[in-house]
Structure 1
Amino acid sequence: MRAEELLDAPHVDVPTVPAPVDCMPSLVAAGRTAPVVKVDYYGGTAWAVCDMDLVRTALTDRRLSKDIELTPEWMRVPGVMLGSQPRADVARTMVMSEGPAHARIRRLHARIFTPRNTEEWGARLVTLAETLLAELTGEVNLVEHYTYPLPLGFICEMLGLPAELHPVMRRATDDIIYSPDQAVRTAGVGALAGAVAGWAADPGPLRDGLITGLIADESITLDEVVTWTVGLVMAGYESTASLIAAAILEALRRPPDRRPRTEAEIDRWIEETLRVHPPFPHATWRFATEDVDLGGYLIPRGAPVQINVAAANRCPHADDFDPDAARDHISFGLGHHYCLGAPLARLEARVALSAFLPRFPHARLSGTTEVRWESEWMTRRISVLPVVLDDERYDR
C-alpha cells in the first residue's frame, strides 16, 4: 500500500513531563483510541504503537531502529531522557545501538548476567532483605525503607560502591528521571556521569565489582565504562524498585489469605504485576528508517516511535489483576533488544515478596495516608506506599 493510502494516526494527550500523578489511565485510554497514535513531544511529534499484535511486530521490525544516530535534532534537548544519552562518537549504549555495535555491547554485558551469577546473587539479596525488614515497625513508607533500599543496595554492591555512596546514586537518579525541571535533569546526568568518571580514573574508593571489572577490560574504553555504568545504575534498580512496590501494593489490597504464599504463586504474582504495572510504561525509543506500514497506519521515515507497553499489556481490556489468568506481557521487550536483566529483576522481586509477606502476614495499607504515584509516559513508580506493619514476627 502506498504511503498516501495509509491511515494517519490520531493525536492523543498523555503526560510527557514528570509529575505526582499516575499516568496509567491516560496511557490505557490512548491505546483504546487507536492501534497507533501520535503524541506531541517537546515541539515535535512521536508515534506510539498500542495494540499488542502491532507491538510484537514493531519490536522485531528492523526498520524501527534504535540507533542513536537516527535521533532527530529536535529531540536532542538537554534534560530530556533521550537527549541525556551521549553522542554516538563518545559511547554507544546497549539500548540505543544496532548491528555489530549492539552485538558487542550485549555480549560484554551478558558476561555479567549469567545464570551462575544470578544464582549467587540470590543469597546476598535474601540477606539484604532480612536486614532491612528487621528494622521495620509501626507505620512506614515502604518505598523509603524497603522497596527502594533493597535493589539500590544490591546494585551498588554489584558495582562495587561503598555504602556512603548509595544516597548519591538515589539523588542523581531521582533528579534524572523524575524532576520536571530540565535543568535539574541535565545536572543529574552530569553529576552521575561525573562521579563514575572520577571512579574510573581513580578506582581507589571502589570495592571489586562491575566497575573495576569494566575498567580492567582493555577492550572497553573509559567513556564506555562511564556510559554503561550510568545505564546499569538507572536500569538496575529504578525499574525493579517500582516492580517490588507495585507487587506489594497488590498483595496488601487483598486479605492475608488471598496473598501469594508459595514460590509458584509469588512467581505468577510478579508476572501479573509486570503486566498490569510495567515500571517503564513505554519502551525506549526507535526511529523509522523508511516509511513503515504498521497495521494500515503510516509511520513516516525519520519518525521517533514508542511502544506503549502499558496499553499493549492490557489489550484487549484486561485491566483486572488476576495472577491465575496467565496473561502475556511485553514489559521486558521482545526480540534482539529483550531485557538482559530480566532474570535478575524477577529474582529481586521474588526475594522481596518472599521475605516481606511471611514476616508481616497481617500488614495492611494505612487508613490515614494515601498511596501516591509519580510518573510520565516513560516511567512510573509509587512514591509513597504507607503500610501498617503487624507486631507478629516471622517464626523462624
Structure 2
Amino acid sequence: MTHAATPGDSAAAVAEGRPEFRVDPHPVYAALRQAAPVCPMRPPHGVETYLITRYDDARAALADPRLSKDMYGAMDAYQRIFGDSSVALDDNMLFSDPPKHTRLRRIVNSAFTPRRVAALRPRIQRIADELLDRCPAREPVDLLPRFAFPLPLNVICELLGVPESEREQARHWSATVAQTGFGPEARKALEEAEGALRDYLVELVARKRAHPGEDLMSALVRAQDEGGALTDHELVSTAWVLLFAGHKTTAYLIGNAVHHLLAHPDQSAAVLRDPELWPRAVEEVLRFEGSVENATFRYAAEDVEIRGTLVPKGALVQIALASANRDPAAFGEPDRFAVTRADAGSHLAFGHGPHYCVGAPLARLETRIALATLFGRFPHVAPVTPPQEARWLAVPFPAFRGLAELPVTLDPSPLPDDRNSRD
C-alpha cells in the first residue's frame, strides 16, 4: 500500500478520510509523528485545524485549560461543522469547561462508581448470553448487529430507563448522527435525526417526571426538580450524550477486539489458556485499536504553542488518540498486538484530565464480559473473510475507528482440554 509521502499529503489523507487511510491509518500517523507532530490541516468542514499525533503532546493537550471544550466559545466554528440543530443536543459535559463541566460531571458520576458498575455484571452477563443464544452456530453471522451493538445499547438503555420497544429506533437515530457528512443530503439527514432524538428525549423526560423509576433518567429529573441542578437543555443533552457514548464506542471496541484476536491467533490462544488475561487483553485493544480515533474537538482560547508550532486563537485542535497510542516514545514495539503487554494501561483511549471518560469502568466491564463469553462459548470462532480484507468505517475526518461489518462463524466445539472458562 502506498501512503502519502509529505506532511501535507498525510494531513490531507487524515482530514479527508481517504479509503487507503481508513484501511490502515497507522503508517500515516507514524509519518506525521516524525515529520509534523503538530500539523495544520483543513478538513472538509473548512475550519482551520491542528492535528496532534505524539503521545506526550496529546496527553498534555487533553488537560490543557487553554484548549477549550466550550462549544459556545467557538460557536461559529461549531455551527460550520455540526450545523445549528446540534446545539440542542450538545449542551452537556462533553462540550463544556469548568465550572459548568464540573457541575454536570458531578451529577453523572454517581451512576458510574466502581460499586455501581460492578453491580451490573450479572445483568451484562445475561444480556451477552441471551444475544449469543440467538446467534446461529456453524454458519456466517455478522457480530456487529447481532452482538457487539445490542449488548452495550441494552445496558445503557436499561440504565437510562429507555423501554425495550424504543431502543432500536434510538439506535437508528444515533447511527445517523454518528455518520456526519458535509454535503446537503447528509446535513439534512443529520438535522432530521437530531430533531427526532431531541423530541424523543423531551418526551421521555416528561414520562419519567410523571412516573419516576429507579433508572438514571429518573434520577436526573429528580436532580433538576429538587435543586435546579440541570436546565431543560442540559437534562436532554446529558441523556443524549450518555445514550450515544454509552453504546457506540463500546460496540466498536468489542468489534475491534474480536477482529484483532482473530487476526492474531497466538494472542487469542494465550487468553483462552489463561482467562485471567482478559482485563489486560482489553487494555491492549484500547491501546492498539481503540474505538475513538480522535478526541472530540477543542479550540484554542488563546494563542498556544505546542512543540514549536503556534496554534492561533480560535483554531480547532484535534488530538489523534490512535496515533498517540502507537507512539514508540511511549510504548515498546507499539505496532505489535500483545495481550500480555505490561505498558498498555497508560494508553489515552479514554482521554486524560478533566474530560477522562466517565463511562470507562462500564466500557471495560462490558468488553471484558463480551469477549470472555464469546470466546468461552465459541473457542473456535473464525472470520468469514481474511482479517486483512476487513471493511472499516469510511467517514470524513474520522472520530471513530470501527468495522463496517464483522462476519464470523461460531463453532461451539470445546477446546481439547475443555478450557472454555469465561471472565
TM-score clears 0.5: yes
Change (3 A) 1:177 1:364: same
SS in 1 for 2:340: helix
Matched, 1:346 2:364: yes
Q: Which amino acid aligns with 1:321?
A: F
Quote the residue 2:187 is aligned against: 182
In structure 2, C-alpha distance between the alignment counterparts of 1:229 and 1:20, rounded to whole Å: 34
Answer yes or no: is 1:152 the counterpart of 2:153. Answer: yes
**Aligned equivalent of 2:391:** 372
Alignment check: 8 A CA contact 2:23 2:391 kept:
no
Structure showing the higher strand proportion among its residues? 1
Counterpart-to-counterpart distance in 2, 1:115 and 1:320:
31
Residue identity in the other structure for 1:144: P
Q: Deviations over 1:258-305 (max 9, x none)?
A: 252344311111111111212111101111121111111111111111
Q: Map of 1:63-212 to 2, 5 A cutoff? A: 63-77=66-80, 80-81=81-82, 85-86=86-87, 92-137=91-136, 138-178=139-179, 180=181, 181-203=186-208, 208-212=214-218
Tell me the TM-score normalized by structure 2.
0.84
- Partner of 1:71, secondary structure, is helix
Aligned position for 1:4 = none
User: Which deviates further from its counterpart, 157-166 or 68-77?
Assistant: 68-77
- What 5-or-longer segments of structure 1 have no aligned partner? 1-8
Q: Which residue of 1 aligns with 2:336?
A: 320
Within the alignment, does 1:234 sit opposite 2:236 as a pair?
no
Verify the 8 A CA contact 2:282 2:367 in the aligned structure 1. yes
| Alpha-carbon distance, 1:206 to partner | 8.0
Give the Cα–Cα distance (whole angstroms) in 2 for the partners of residues 213 and 141 of structure 1: 36
Shift of 1:174: 0.9
Question: Match of 1:36?
Answer: 38
Structure 1 residues 21 and 156, CA, compared in 2 at 3 Å: closer, same or farther?
farther
Contact 1:20 1:374 in 2 (8 A): no
1:303 aligns with 2:312: no
Report the Cα distance in structure 1 between the residues aligned to 2:25 and 2:283, rounded to whole angstroms.
22
Residue identity matched to 2:215: G
| Conservation of the 8 A alpha-carbon contact between 2:284 and 2:338 | yes
Which residue identity does 2:405 align to in structure 1?
V
Preserved CA contact (<8 Å) 1:44 1:74: yes
Contact 1:19–1:374 (Cα < 8 Å) also in 2: no
Instruction: Give 1:391 deviation, angstroms.
Output: 3.9
Provide the secondary structure at the position in 1 that maps to 2:402: strand
CA RMSD, 1 decimal: 2.6
Q: CA deviation at 1:134?
A: 1.2
Amino acid at match of 1:195: Y
Work out the CA distance in 2 between the residues paired with 1:293 and 1:211.
42
- Give the CA deviation at 1:30: 4.0
Offset, 1:25: 3.2
Paired residue secondary structure (2:247)? helix
Q: Cα 1:231–1:21, aligned 2, differ >3 Å: closer, same or farther?
A: farther
Q: Partners in 2 of 1:13 and 1:309 — Cα distance?
A: 18
AA aligned to 2:317 is V
Count of residues paired in the alignment:
384
Q: 1:91 Cα deviation (Å)?
A: 7.3
Matches within 5 A, 1:275-314: 275-314=287-326
**Aligned: 1:245 with 2:275:** no
Larger relative helix fraction: 2
What is the identity percentage for the equivalent residue pairs of Structure 1 and Structure 2?
32
Q: Which moved more, 1:56-65 or 1:350-359?
A: 56-65
